[in-house]
Amino acid sequence: MNTKNKVLVIEDSEDFLTPLRTFLMLNDYDVLTAETGKEALDKIMEEPDAIILDLGLPDMEGIDVLKEIKRITEIPVLVLSARDSKNDFESAFSNGADDYITKSNLKEELIVVKLNNLIGRNKQTGSNALFGNGKLYIDFRTKVVRVNDTKVHLTEREYELLELFAQNAGKLLENESIFRKIWGDTYS
């Protein structure tokens, strides 16, 4: 079984991405990469343990990518940016960034220390179990369900059913087993 931590690096500059990826792999990380915001939001479905996000992306504002990540998941995000004004820091942290490193002050060892901290912290509070198919997103830990962009309120039973279906997506479930799983002993 693969127990390596997985990190998603969102960065469009090859000059930056290539050495960073190599360094992370040498430090025993599995590395996913995305060069655009849109690609990044797809790769999140591979459930990385942490995300490194550059704010200067070609297709979307990095802050908007950050907001979207935080809207659908609790994966920790380390912002890595050339921008270093107080406004940039405030904007990143108020939109959910878990940590921030400026490119001018970049030491790769520091990235690894920060990532390890973020992942350790997150693992203590539970996994990021997340379901998403482009329209429907379910965070199994927080039980937050969204369809397109809208948060959906479900009763407890409705949520349990949806979770069961999502976790068995593509599989055929027998009525009998659905009733037993959801209604348990009260079903006869």
Sites of contact with Ca ion (CB under 5 A)? 12-13, 54, 56
CB of 62 to Ca ion, least distance (A): 8
Nearer to Ca ion, 13 or 122 (CB): 13
Nearer to Ca ion, 45 or 60 (CB): 60
CB of 12 to Ca ion, least distance (A): 5
Please choose, from the candidates 98, 101, 102, 130, the residue with its C-alpha nearest in 3D space to the C-alpha of residue 117.
Answer: 98
CB of 35 to Ca ion, least distance (A): 9
CA dihedral 106, 101, 59, 139 (to 10 degrees): 130
Nearer to Ca ion, 13 or 27 (CB): 13
- Residue 147 and residue 154 in contact, taking contact as beta carbons nearer than 8 Å: no
**Residue in the shown chain whose Cβ atom is closest to Ca ion:** 56
CB of 115 to Ca ion, least distance (A): 19
Cα–Cα distance for residue pair 23/112, rounded to 1 Å:
9
Nearer to Ca ion, 7 or 17 (CB): 17
Nearer to Ca ion, 34 or 130 (CB): 34
Please choose, from the candidates 74, 72, 80, the residue with its C-alpha nearest in 3D space to the C-alpha of residue 42.
Answer: 72
Q: In 31-107, where does DSSP find H-type helix?
A: 37-43, 62-72, 86-94
List residues bridging with 167 in a β-sheet.
none
CB of 104 to Ca ion, least distance (A): 14
